[in-house]
A and B are shown apart, each in its own frame.
Chain A
């Protein structure tokens, strides 16, 4: 059902459609950064940071996005909020009333109204807040841009501060007077200011200490329930992703290699890269370290400017065969519901992380 492709009408114009439960769908999304070399700044190649990504985000879900450093997670997130213009492909967004637009094609003026709907929470609570603005101005800035009245902005800011657990009287303070956890709350309040429908959270709890991290995760979950938000939750900490997500997508060198419900992705992964990632996570249980059965992943992430032939993962894959060096596996759907890009997904017997109570 979700494989419906845009219907090409006989006239040749494309009328994009999304399933009713889809909020966003990336179709063949590519973001390539050109590399220039030499005195003449010749264009010698491209960093294929995001390379033919197909992924849908369902209404009201938390979709986790994981993968090693440099795999293209942030670039994907930045394209969705359109800080970046994609090189090619579609970012189909379904408005509240059901109308579907391709954000990839819109110019700044046309994007204006969607900037309120899709918001981002950044990783670094220190550099992402302008030190010269008060907390009130930081949170209210976007509302001013969206043309809100001054008094409405003030009410809204007070309301948001309360929602994220900060004292409303902090409104006039500057960011330096806050701890890392409090700054991240300011960042969350800023993202929620416009009543967004989709929030892209890029490593937004990664820099926080354990106790503050737990508080922030709880806050994000509470706000999601209260406002019916949808999250694209980018993080490298797989325990956090498992905790917060409904579904999880795994990225490797610019491509999605596996997507599945959280339980099946963690419990029975179908892609060798997912298996390797899961078994690299240190388990906070000294008994379990003696049960290591899956070999640790060796080598490094391939260079997205010069990816290997065939399956990008083949130089590191313990199950690689000759075919993997030649033929690139496409992302396809298995009967179990997993989407996976591996030639041998059906044959391999991969090990997941058993559920614990």
Chain B
């Protein structure tokens, strides 16, 4: 409790904006702008998310890829304002267009307030890698889905139960009328995942954030869950933010891709362009380092050297510079690459694509004016 007193939750300023004032593009459901979510630990500040910008288009899927620790889950949790102390959103905007056209900045909401609780589940729902993180072992899956429905909708028990069965049918749960009364231990991994998806979708959210929902599953189960998500998305026109470290999964499911490295989005664009013309050396290296089905001759993989630094040991300049094959000494280790807009919905943060001379001049000016 003591801790809480010192931290100010929800940043000042009004969270509700009208659409014009927010300047959101009409095709986007969510725009994340320069988001920073930091953890204030005893050992120092962990900048888990450090200036992330991307947009979630309406009715489409954005894939978020990046290695372990790149800040994917913390970004996702920030969108739901589910950051536990000692962490908090320190700056940036998370603009969400609500059903009524109103735009709300989630970054400014009180994470314990009623507004964010109304958004969770109804506007944005979260699907986890581990279904047991979302499902209770001591209640039937039906009761959990019914409870979720009744929080957001005024339905009596019978109607809510019917709706829960319908949800289970929609996620292809075999024998939905019977399984509704099952406990999680009576279900296989794939069925638990379906139950959790049914619960997440129960209130027809406009955005579903799926955080590695298929990582622990067999390829066969994964394939059916991916098909299912695609199908449900088409039917309800919902947006999906799909987090994974599996590039194959991204290629299967995403319309757009954001590549994260050390708390930043380093490249973003339509899925075809990311795979065919990757612009960031990290994206290129990632794509080259995975074994590709169909490549049969004996060969070595092009592994990226070294490993992802811990966010509390972020390298100076470009965070990727100590592993980058295109490292430019004196440049990449000095200047933090800004986000360069290449085209609509396509940007990259790498000094190969920036006007280095202009940046150098600007940073020199900054240092002299600091003195």
Contacts and interface: CB of A to CB of B under 8 A. Distances in A.
Interface in B167-196: 188-190
Nearest to B301: A214
Contact of B290 (A239, A280, A297): A239
B220 interface: yes
Nearest to B188: A300
Nearest to A180: B68
Contacts of A289: 251-252
A211 B304 contact: yes
A300 B292 CA distance: 26
B246 A282 contact: yes
A210 B293 contact: no
A281 B219 contact: yes
A210 B296 CA distance: 19
B222 A280 contact: yes
Given A68-B220, A280-B219, A289-B251, A211 B227 contact: no
A181 B68 CA distance: 12
Contacts of B219: 68, 236-238, 277, 280-282
Query: What size tier do the contact residues of chain A reach?
Result: 35 or more
Contacts of B249: 282
B226 interface: yes
B128 to A, nearest CB: 18
Contacts of A266: 293-294, 296
A356 B294 CA distance: 5
A276 B219 CA distance: 10
Interface stretch (B33-41, B205-213, B281-289, B354-362): B281-289
A276 B220 contact: yes
B301 A286 contact: no
A298 B224 contact: yes
A236 B221 CA distance: 12
Interface stretch (A98-106, A192-200, A215-223, A307-315): A215-223
A19 interface: no
Given A69-B218, A354-B294, A281 B245 contact: no
Interface string A202-239: 00000001111111011001000000000000001111
Query: What size tier do the contact residues of chain B reach?
Result: 35 or more
A281 B296 contact: no
A171 interface: no
Interface string A51-71: 000000000000000001100
Contacts of B275: 284-286
A296 interface: yes
A283 B293 CA distance: 7
B223 interface: yes
A353 interface: yes
A280 B220 contact: yes
A190 interface: no
Contacts of B245: 209-210
A243 B300 CA distance: 9
B248 interface: yes
A287 interface: yes
Contact of A297 (B189, B223, B301): B223
B289 A211 contact: yes
B278 to A, nearest CB: 12
Contact of B272 (A212, A286, A296): A286
A179 B220 contact: no
Interface in A100-122: none
Given A242-B291, A286-B271, A287-B272, A297 B296 contact: no
B130 interface: no
Nearest to B289: A214
B116 interface: no
A214 B302 contact: yes
Given A217-B301, A281-B293, A356-B294, A211 B285 contact: yes
Of the candidates A240, A266, A267, A282, the one having the most CB atoms from chain B within 10 angstroms of its own CB is A282
Contacts of B289: 210-211, 213-214
Contacts of A40: none
Given A217-B291, A282-B226, A353-B294, A209 B68 contact: yes
Contacts of B132: none
A326 to B, nearest CB: 25
Contacts of B67: 209-211
Given A214-B303, A283-B248, A296 B224 contact: yes
The 8 closest A-B pairs by CB, nearest first: A282-B248, A243-B291, A214-B303, A356-B294, A211-B304, A280-B223, A214-B289, A214-B301
